[in-house]
Chain A
Amino acid sequence: MAEQAVTDTPETGAGDGVRRRDFINIAAVSAAGVGGLATLVPLISQMAPSADVLAASSTEIDISSIQPGQAIKAEFRKQPVFLRNLTPQEIAAAEAVPLSELRDPQTLKERTKEGKLNWLITMGVCTHLGCVPLGAGEGEVKGDFGGYFCPCHGSSYDTAARIRKGPAPLNLQVPEFEFTSDTVVKIG
């Protein structure tokens, strides 16, 4: 196009004219490019979670019926979440472990709410590749460390749901949650 502009303007012959004409062509092509890029925004963001999915991303759970030593599985964001009422022994076992022995050092205190040390609430999603670990249901194996055991690749979690053995890199994730009353937990 630059060539074109040169032959176009024999009468002006001025370099200014050439640049001005080039400028319009470049501006037009740039505008088309900007328009194209702006169009990508809706085309891409349509794949992000839709409003109904986002709205369903908090859930309230009644924990009044969970006895010490028991756990339940609930659903949060279409994934399992484990709510576990720890026994004093389990709490003691978790607190007895020195942090230096842990792959992902965290204390039980950091993983629970103040004054509610017995309520261990974690995602039921193995941090290795996303399987659901065993140990929440009655009679399920709890692994070598008395917490959870992932049957897919053999990751074992302790009574604070911290990774102790196997390929998983991190402790079971603790979702955002709060106690809306003594017996109701709001997750998300």
Chain B
Amino acid sequence: MARILSILVGLFFTAGLTWSLLVGLFNFEMPHSVEKDFHKHPKELHLSSDGAFGKFDRQQLQRGFQVYKEVCSACHSLRLVAFRDLAALGYNEAEVKAIAKGFQVPGIDPATGEVNSRPGIATDYFPKPFANDIAARAANNNAIPPDLSLMTKARHDGPAYVYSLLTGYADPATYKNEQGKALPKENYPPATGHFNPYFANLNLAMAPPLTSEGQVQYGEGSPKPTVDQMARDVAAFLVWTAEPKLEKRKQTGWPVLGFLLFATILGFLAFKNVWADKKKKA
């Protein structure tokens, strides 16, 4: 009885699936879209923070911060990062204070209670460039510039994606994909858009932010501020903003794994020891 019942239930589900399958096979069509044809995987990017022994290159982080401050911060917030956090980039207390002072953060007039702005202090978070989403939308052709704090964790291949996007703008009229195909005219970005094959729908609202060598003036002894170099540096900086504890995590990992290996080997020997009399075959 149980057997017949179960077979009936089984037939119900399998019949339903078979029906879906037949309809599916009849209409079978591999997905196809211009986005799929033209969307490119991010370029390779190697950062010193990569890998199990990865460490931040503090000079690079400072350069990346400079790029953020002078270019990106015009439109993009960094709301999860406080000025005090910048000490991890190798700035001393006075430098952190000076950086904070350079930013105007929202404040309240202590005498009148009116909303105003004041120079930042170390415990302040990076201020948002727009008062709210509506203002951000209005100033940017209806596209809100996303917050950058977690950007490299919020996208597949995070830092490589940021780097590719910044250096990947192309002219839709002359661009050819890997198969040598030109972009169909109807897929050209609208007047307010910008063609970028590293962006999922190929049409990015952000105009190319890094356009010329020396757009950001790096200090003595730094590499030449080419567009490529600035893009790398800001990608590295955003790895840090997304996970300031990355270095500590990796550094903690090794002793933990080392200890576990040691303890597991001891445990294995003890296990062999305990079972010594039970494992013998006659």
Is A28 a contact of B259 with CB atoms below 8 Å?
no
In the assembled complex, the CB of A59 is this many whole angstroms from the nearest CB of chain B, namely: 9
In the assembled complex, the CB of B208 is this many whole angstroms from the nearest CB of chain A, namely: 36
What residues of B have a CB within 8 angstroms of the CB of A4 in the complex?
Answer: 274, 277
What residues of A have a CB within 8 angstroms of the CB of B267 in the complex?
Answer: 28, 31-32
In the assembled complex, the CB of B112 is this many whole angstroms from the nearest CB of chain A, namely: 14
Is A8 a contact of B259 with CB atoms below 8 Å?
no
- Tell me the interface secondary structure of chain B in the complex: helix
What residues of A have a CB within 8 angstroms of the CB of B259 in the complex?
Answer: 31, 34-35, 38
What residues of B have a CB within 8 angstroms of the CB of A38 in the complex?
Answer: 259
The size of the chain A interface, using a CB distance under 8 A, is 20
Contact of B82 among A5, A29, A32, A55 (CB under 8 A): A55
Mark interface residues in B246-274 (1 if CB within 8 Å of A CB, else 0): 00000000000001101100110110011
Number of chain B interface residues as a range: 10 to 19
Question: Contacts A4-B274, A25-B270 hold; do A31 and B262 have CB atoms under 8 A apart?
Answer: yes
- Tell me the interface secondary structure of chain A in the complex: helix
CA A5 to CA B272, docked complex, whole Å: 11
Find residues 42-69 in chain A having any chain B CB closer than 8 Å to their own CB: 51-52, 55-56
Is A35 a contact of B263 with CB atoms below 8 Å?
yes
In the assembled complex, the CB of A10 is this many whole angstroms from the nearest CB of chain B, namely: 9
CA A56 to CA B122, docked complex, whole Å: 9
What residues of B have a CB within 8 angstroms of the CB of A21 in the complex?
Answer: 273
What residues of B have a CB within 8 angstroms of the CB of A32 in the complex?
Answer: 263, 267
CA A52 to CA B262, docked complex, whole Å: 37
Closest to B252 in A: A42
Question: Contacts A31-B266, A31-B267, A32-B267 hold; do A24 and B273 have CB atoms under 8 A apart?
Answer: yes
Is B123 a contact of A8 with CB atoms below 8 Å?
no
Contact of B277 among A1, A7, A29, A52 (CB under 8 A): A7
Closest to A31 in B: B263
Question: Contacts A28-B266, A31-B263, A35-B260 hold; do A52 and B123 have CB atoms under 8 A apart?
Answer: yes
Interface of B toward A, CB cutoff 8 Å: 82, 84, 122-123, 259-260, 262-263, 266-267, 269-270, 273-274, 276-277
Interface of A toward B, CB cutoff 8 Å: 1, 4-5, 7-8, 21, 24-25, 27-29, 31-32, 34-35, 38, 51-52, 55-56
